[in-house]
């Protein structure tokens, strides 16, 4: 392997397209670890091929609940067991036991969730809430409070942005306070995503 040392590579006079690599090339490496590669203001970076992991919003996932969670105790905080994944390319969401998102990569994340909540039978709800937990504690909350104008169904939704270390984990929880201390349900559907949980890494932030 030979080494070329120079300060500037440019096109020959009369041409305006510069190509690096040709028929014998499979991998082109720009810079080394610790280097900064600059794209100047006003320049355009066109990517027509497959984008690698460094420029994609990964880790990320989206999962929804496909079977009702029923008989949940009034005023108790219950994890929403979103068990059906729509995508999870890097395996960061546990959809079978802990129902938690563990990014494994430090960064800023957009995290969201929703739950379709109802009281059992003909009972009404006084309050419906969802929470996003980080490492076992709530860091976000969305509340529907009906006071004396009771409701039988509600879908609280919640979006937050958080900074994660590589060992943090996130979960979605729900709580319902009913009119007469009845149990409550988290409703699901096999085709309509009524209750769901997801997240993705924010790049460039």
- 150 domain residue, yes or no: yes
109: phi > 0 → left, psi -120 to 50 → alpha, else beta; which? beta
Please compute the mean of the pLDDT values over residues 95-117 and round it to a whole number.
97
14 token code pair: 């009369």
pLDDT at 104: 96
Q: Look up the domain containing 139 and give its range.
A: 61-201
- 110 domain residue, yes or no: yes
- 39 domain residue, yes or no: no
- 104 domain residue, yes or no: yes
Residue 148 has pLDDT above 90, yes or no: no
Confidence of residue 205 (pLDDT cuts 50, 70, 90): low
pTM across the whole model: 0.78
pLDDT at 120: 84
- 17 domain residue, yes or no: no
pLDDT at 7: 80
Residue 192 has pLDDT above 80, yes or no: yes
- For the chain, what is the radius of gyration of the CA atoms? 24
Q: How many domains does the chain have?
A: 1
- 13 domain residue, yes or no: no
Would you call 6 helix, strand, or coil by DSSP? coil
29/63: higher pLDDT: 63
Separation CA 145–CA 174 (nearest Å): 14
Max mean pLDDT among 9-18, 49-58, 169-178 falls in: 169-178
pLDDT at 87: 96
Among residues 152, 157, 156, the alpha carbon closest in space to that of 125 is found at: 152
- 75 domain residue, yes or no: yes
pLDDT at 195: 98
Distance linking the first and last C-alpha atoms of the chain: 38
DSSP state of 43: -
Task: List strand residue ranges (DSSP E) for the chain, in order.
Answer: 60-64, 69-72, 78-79, 84-87, 107-114, 116-119, 125-134, 137-145, 153-154, 157-164, 170-178, 184-187, 196-201
Measured over the CA atoms of residue 138, residue 144, residue 148 and residue 150, the dihedral's sign is: negative
Confidence of residue 48 (pLDDT cuts 50, 70, 90): low
- 124 domain residue, yes or no: yes
Query: For residue range 111-128, what is the model confidence (pLDDT) as tens digits?
Result: 999 999 999 877 788 899
Order the strands of the 170-178 sheet from edge to edge. Answer: 78-79, 170-178, 125-134, 137-145
| Poorest-pLDDT segment among 18-22, 99-103, 157-161 | 18-22
Neighbouring CB atoms inside 10 A of 83's CB total 17
CATH code of the domain in which 73 resides: 2.60.120.40
Residue 24 has pLDDT above 90, yes or no: no
Confidence of residue 131 (pLDDT cuts 50, 70, 90): very high
Would you call 54 helix, strand, or coil by DSSP? helix
Residue 135 has pLDDT above 90, yes or no: yes
Residue 49 has pLDDT above 70, yes or no: no
Do the beta carbons of residue 66 and residue 192 sit within 8 Å? no
């Amino acid at each position: 392997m030979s080494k070329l040392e120079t300060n500037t590579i440019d096109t020959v006079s009369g041409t305006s397209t510069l190509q690096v690599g040709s028929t014998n090339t499979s991998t082109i490496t720009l810079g080394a670890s610790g280097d900064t590669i600059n794209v100047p203001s006003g320049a355009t970076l066109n990517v027509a091929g497959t984008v690698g992991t460094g420029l994609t919003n990964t880790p990320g996932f989206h999962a929804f609940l496909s079977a009702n969670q029923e008989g949940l105790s009034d005023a108790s905080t219950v994890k929403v067991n979103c068990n059906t994944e729509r995508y999870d390319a890097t395996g960061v969401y546990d959809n079978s036991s802990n129902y938690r998102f563990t990014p494994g990569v430090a960064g800023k994340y957009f995290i969201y969730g929703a739950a379709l909540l109802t009281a059992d039978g003909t009972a009404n709800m006084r309050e419906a809430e969802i929470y996003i937990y980080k490492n076992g504690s709530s860091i976000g909350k969305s509340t529907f409070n009906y006071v004396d104008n009771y409701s039988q169904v509600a879908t609280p939704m919640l979006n937050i942005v958080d900074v994660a270390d590589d060992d943090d984990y996130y979960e979605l929880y729900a709580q319902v306070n009913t009119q007469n201390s009845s149990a409550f349900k988290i409703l699901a559907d096999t085709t309509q995503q009524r209750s769901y949980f997801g997240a993705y890494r924010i790049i460039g932030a």
